[in-house]
């Protein structure tokens, strides 16, 4: 009986593979099912019907990708849209002393939950995690818009941040699922362009709503747009659901690792936000969280390597030279570029006396370059299959930009300002798509979700550290130098509020204060240049992996939900399941070279 089954299996595969309209692998059903299912006669395909089906599939893919882009845009937009609304929010609630936590709460949970959602999607499925993230994000937005106190608003912003983390991590993971590695660069470039656009329009949209409508509409605006994206993805995004009972899936969750990661990231980010602002850096309120977070890293290493059955962060990944190099590169890249994005507006507003709105407008040329270059380099990666040179080029350009920023003073021409920042935009554009691809190309499919989440996690954590270092440098420079150069009463006023520099400071002290600010910012640019340089060195440790190779076959017991992706569902054939050829090829291990 067995030879007959084999013959039947071969005939089905032969008939399908010879059809010019079908490009799939066939995974045959078990033999006992084939014995019960008679062979079906080949039916001629109507060309008009085939064209209609292809058009429907194309429309479905476009709608799915648009839904992913819109979801990512909203999640990223929420991290910047409140920047220009904070003064009005603080005034309305009469809580200017803690209003910055409206922004901080979102960023804190947005980062802390990135690696968790990535791993949970391996267990519960990508679509379920994405839909959960969007729903939680929209629910948090409703609560934020209706908040009756500043404390309620801060708590609800943290809820929105959790949802935003689910959206952000899942968009990148789903793109890696549905797009073959060799074509993924172009899609990653488009996705990163959307992310960059959010940083352009966030402050502008937030300022417009705050000035002409209400700051609450900065949150309500998410509902109609996010609701449309949710509907599109719910009906058109087809992803497989991992097999197994819910109780079995819950047993797979690394609960101890989850608690440790959340505790570590929360304490680390709290310490960085407290330091130099709410409390001195030498205070127990700052030192204690930092020490505990470092201890938690050691505990996490022990738990993940010795006790966790399905680790949240598999230790084997950190033994991979390319993964470790890419994570360090993301860390230093986050430190340098986020530090620059946060402190360029300080230069514009304090040294050049720009309004908050104008400081955002002056960043538009750089951000437009980021969008253009990110998209272009993504297509370049897809065409050439090479991503490693872009990492080094991007960080070299970013280092050059930061070094040139140290030449800025109150008299620097605007042509130089725009020219130097555009160089930074070129560097950042080269980095966004290539930094994600570098991680995904270095691992097997079963680890793609985890390394994608880790990449975002390390970049945002590094960025938080970069901003904290920059803040410490500026505050220390002002604290040490101002009392020596102007009366202590005036120095204290400047230290309490930068707005006092142009609204209250006597004219005779203005040039001196601007000079001290410039010196502090110049030191910031020097330090960030060193961070970008460290990222450049880290990028040299990343091996180049051929993108058209998929790595060794994954054993049956190690398969994850992404191993048999069906997007979109194809023609059903009795006794067989259609699987995309890009996700099931069994080829030689990916070659790598320096």
Per-residue pLDDT tens digits for 297-350 = 999 999 988 888 888 888 888 889 999 999 999 999 999 988 888 888 889 888
CATH number at residue 498: 1.20.1250.20
State mean pLDDT over 3-25. Answer: 41
Residue ranges of alpha helices (H) inside 213-320 are 217-220, 222-236, 246-252, 255-274, 284-306
In b/e form, how buried is each residue of 190-206, taking b as 16+ CB within 10 angstroms? bbbbbbbbbbbbbbbbb
Residue 450 covered by a domain: yes
- On average, the pLDDT of the chain sits at 80
Q: What is the pLDDT of residue 584?
A: 37
Residue 567 covered by a domain: no
How many domains are there within the chain?
Answer: 1
Residue 195 covered by a domain: no
Q: How far apart (Å, rounded) are the C-alpha atoms in residues 54 and 274?
A: 56
* Minimum mean pLDDT range among 271-285, 458-472, 479-493: 271-285
Q: What is the DSSP string of 69-116?
A: HHHHHHHHHTTTTTTTTHHHHHHHHT-TTTTTHHHHHHHHHHHHTHHH
Residue 207 covered by a domain: no
Q: How far apart (Å, rounded) are the C-alpha atoms in residues 347 and 354?
A: 9
**Dihedral sign, Cα of residue 432, residue 434, residue 440, residue 443:** negative
Residue 304 covered by a domain: no
pLDDT band at residue 295 under the 50/70/90 scheme: very high
Is-contact 138 154, C-beta < 8 A?
no
State mean pLDDT over 69-83. Answer: 84
Predicted model pTM? 0.75
Q: For residue 24, give the 3-state DSSP assignment.
A: strand
Q: Which is higher by pLDDT, 209 or 277?
A: 209
Residue labelled with tokens 């910055």: 100
Is-contact 560 126, C-beta < 8 A?
no
Asked if the model's pLDDT at residue 291 lies above 60, the reply is yes
Residue 10 covered by a domain: no
Residue 164 covered by a domain: no
Q: How far apart (Å, rounded) are the C-alpha atoms in residues 499 and 195?
A: 30
Q: For residue 411, give the 3-state DSSP assignment.
A: coil
Q: What is the pLDDT of residue 40?
A: 54
| H/E run at residue 376 | helix 364-384
Asked if the model's pLDDT at residue 7 lies above 80, the reply is no
Q: How far apart (Å, rounded) are the C-alpha atoms in residues 20 and 213?
A: 57
Residue 256 covered by a domain: no
- Backbone conformation region of residue 108, classed left if phi is above 0, alpha if psi is from -120 to 50, else beta: alpha
Asked if the model's pLDDT at residue 130 lies above 90, the reply is yes
| H/E run at residue 580 | strand 576-580
Q: What is the pLDDT of residue 27?
A: 39
pLDDT band at residue 5 under the 50/70/90 scheme: very low
Q: Containing domain of residue 493, as a range?
A: 320-548
Asked if the model's pLDDT at residue 566 lies above 80, the reply is no
């Amino acid at each position: 009986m067995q030879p007959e089954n084999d013959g039947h299996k071969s005939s089905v595969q032969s008939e399908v593979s010879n059809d010019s309209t079908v490009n799939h692998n066939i995974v045959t059903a078990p033999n006992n099912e084939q014995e019960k299912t008679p062979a079906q006669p080949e039916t001629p395909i109507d060309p008009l019907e085939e064209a209609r089906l292809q058009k429907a599939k194309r429309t479905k893919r476009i709608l799915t990708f648009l839904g992913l882009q819109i979801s990512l845009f909203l999640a990223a937009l929420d991290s910047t849209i409140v920047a220009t609304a904070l003064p009005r929010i603080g005034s309305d609630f009469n809580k200017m002393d803690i209003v910055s936590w409206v922004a901080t709460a979102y960023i804190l949970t947005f980062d802390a939950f990135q690696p968790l959602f990535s791993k949970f999607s391996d267990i519960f499925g990508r679509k379920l995690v994405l839909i959960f993230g969007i729903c939680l994000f929209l629910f948090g937005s409703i609560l934020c818009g209706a908040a009756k106190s500043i404390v309620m608003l801060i708590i609800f912003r943290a809820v929105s941040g959790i949802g935003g983390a689910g959206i952000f991590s899942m968009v990148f993971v789903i793109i890696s699922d549905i797009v073959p590695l060799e074509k993924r660069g172009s899609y990653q470039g488009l996705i990163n362009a959307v992310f960059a656009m959010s940083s352009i329009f966030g402050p502008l949209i937030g300022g417009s709503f705050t000035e002409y409508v209400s700051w609450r509409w900065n949150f309500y605006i998410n509902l109609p747009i996010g609701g449309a994206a949710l509907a599109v993805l719910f009906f058109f995004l087809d992803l497989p659901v991992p097999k197994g009972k819910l109780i079995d899936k819950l047993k797979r969750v690394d609960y101890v690792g989850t608690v440790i990661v959340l505790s570590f990231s929360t304490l680390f980010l709290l310490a960085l936000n407290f330091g130099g602002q709410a409390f001195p850096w030498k205070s127990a309120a700052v030192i204690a969280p930092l020490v505990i977070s470092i201890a938690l890293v050691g505990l996490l290493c022990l738990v993940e390597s010795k006790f966790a059955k399905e680790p949240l962060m598999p230790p084997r990944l950190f033994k991979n030279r390319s993964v470790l190099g890419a994570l360090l590169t993301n860390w230093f890249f986050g430190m340098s570029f986020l530090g620059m994005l946060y402190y360029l507006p300080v230069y514009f507003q304090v040294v050049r006396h720009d309004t908050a709105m104008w400081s955002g407008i002056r960043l538009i040329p750089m951000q437009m370059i980021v969008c253009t270059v990110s998209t272009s380099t993504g297509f370049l990666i897809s065409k050439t299959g090479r991503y490693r040179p872009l990492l080094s080029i991007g960080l070299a350009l970013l280092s050059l930009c930061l070094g040139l920023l140290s030449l800025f003073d109150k008299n620097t021409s605007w042509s130089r300002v725009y020219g130097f920042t555009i160089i930074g935009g070129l560097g950042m554009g080269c980095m966004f798509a290539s930094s994600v691809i570098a991680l995904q190309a270095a691992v097997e499919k079963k680890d793609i979700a985890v390394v994608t989440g880790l990449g975002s996690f390390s970049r945002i954590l590094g960025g938080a550290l970069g901003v904290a270092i920059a803040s410490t440098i500026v505050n220390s420079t002002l604290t040490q130098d101002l009392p020596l150069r102007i009366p202590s009463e005036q120095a204290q006023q400047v230290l309490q509020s930068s707005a006092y520099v142009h609204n209250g400071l006597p004219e005779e002290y203005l040039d001196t204060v601007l000079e001290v600010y410039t010196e502090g910012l110049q030191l910031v640019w020097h330090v960030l240049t060193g961070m970008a340089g460290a990222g450049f060195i880290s990028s040299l440790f990343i091996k180049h992996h051929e993108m058209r190779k998929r790595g060794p076959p994954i054993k049956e017991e190690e398969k994850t939900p992404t191993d048999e992706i069906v997007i979109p569902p194809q023609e059903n054939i009795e006794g067989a399941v259609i699987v995309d050829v890009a996700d099931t090829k069994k080829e030689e291990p990916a070659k790598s070279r320096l």
